[in-house]
Structure 1
């Protein structure tokens, strides 16, 4: 019985330590919560009350932040969409700092080549921000007749569970303001079809497509 109890306590400790290595906010909170709950029970059973209280406090804090994160994940008042020029200095900085991650998720996206295209008026770029922090970038190329091709829909890893790109497609009106009535995505290897469906895309011929709501 003592061995089982110790293994239970170690499991809680390992979960807390592992949570600190998570980049994604939701994953961190859930793992930290699980570890804190186990640690609370373990320390209460063996009568180490200061640590039981500490872990109980962590449990309450994690529950609060999870409630808040889930409440805000689809809140247009929390995330905003800013239309920016492709050569905007801050946008270029964000793309440069996260270039390696962007290349992993959108290998066909060429920042340097596309900057020149955008200057000619065919590229529209949108920054998704949370407060004063840029959390994602969506880039759409104008193919004429109100049709836009999504070349980049990228989000920082720690915000990836919240799909903030949805605010570009659903809430902001930025796409309609840019003159788009239809968006299309060219399928590529590793494309997250579930995400595209969640933000309103359906397969139409050889591309994902969705109408732009005015």
Structure 2
């Protein structure tokens, strides 16, 4: 049976709506849901299902409204430096250990007073954790830069690296290294400013502004 263009539109829109429900990132959910609802609005108008069209049109308006709020909201970011044996940090890592393994399969929490450890706060909500260890006088290696799924919109990364840059430079550190083979994480690293220097190896050079 051959599908018409209208039927294809209906199927695609329905799939987008269903897909949006499985996405953890709030921003991604809104975008996918927006396109799905827009497609169903058009589909419903064409087949004269006006009540369905009205409901989906309202969803489109709500998605646009919340996306506008998300992109224009002035959120307050903060970092909270932690000691090597911080109890909350241990609990956080334990709670998110399965998701952490997806992005940092070789990560093992080994408390060390020489490591840098931060919680990332966003409007006072704990959204992620950052851990780095000093390799030599000029280099730090990022062992963990984890953000909770619902906050993965690159804002955390941009903030944390702008904050730690000054701290690293004060310590005469000019290079930050990290490792990854996860496609989503590699995309994040590229956007933050890391460059690929080898198989699964990434590096960022720090300079004074």
- TM range, normalised to the smaller chain? 0.7 to 0.9
Question: 2: distance between equivalents of 1:14 and 1:107?
Answer: 31
Q: What's the CA shift for 1:167?
A: 1.1
SS in 2 for 1:170: helix
Q: What's the CA shift for 1:152?
A: 1.1
Q: What's 2:94 paired with?
A: 96
Runs of 5+ consecutive residues of structure 1 not aligned to the other structure: none
Runs of 5+ consecutive residues of structure 2 not aligned to the other structure: none
- Give TM-score scaled by structure 1 length: 0.77
Counterparts of residues 1-214 of structure 1 (less than 5 Å): 4-71=5-72, 77-111=75-109, 114-115=110-111, 117=112, 121-145=113-137, 147-162=139-154, 164-171=156-163, 175-176=167-168, 179=171, 181-190=173-182, 192-202=185-195, 208-211=203-206
Bigger Cα displacement from structure 2, 204-213 vs 152-161: 204-213
Query: CA 1:27–1:37 in structure 2 vs 1: closer, same or farther (change >3 Å)?
Result: same
Conservation of the 8 A alpha-carbon contact between 2:138 and 2:174 = yes
Q: What's the CA shift for 1:32?
A: 0.7
- Give TM-score scaled by structure 2 length: 0.79
SS in 2 for 1:42: helix
* Count of residue pairs the alignment pairs up: 204
Conservation of the 8 A alpha-carbon contact between 2:103 and 2:180 = no
Query: CA 1:155–1:178 in structure 2 vs 1: closer, same or farther (change >3 Å)?
Result: farther
How much is the aligned-residue C-alpha RMSD, in angstroms? 3.1
Q: What's the CA shift for 1:208?
A: 1.0
SS in 1 for 2:152: helix
Q: What's the CA shift for 1:59?
A: 0.3
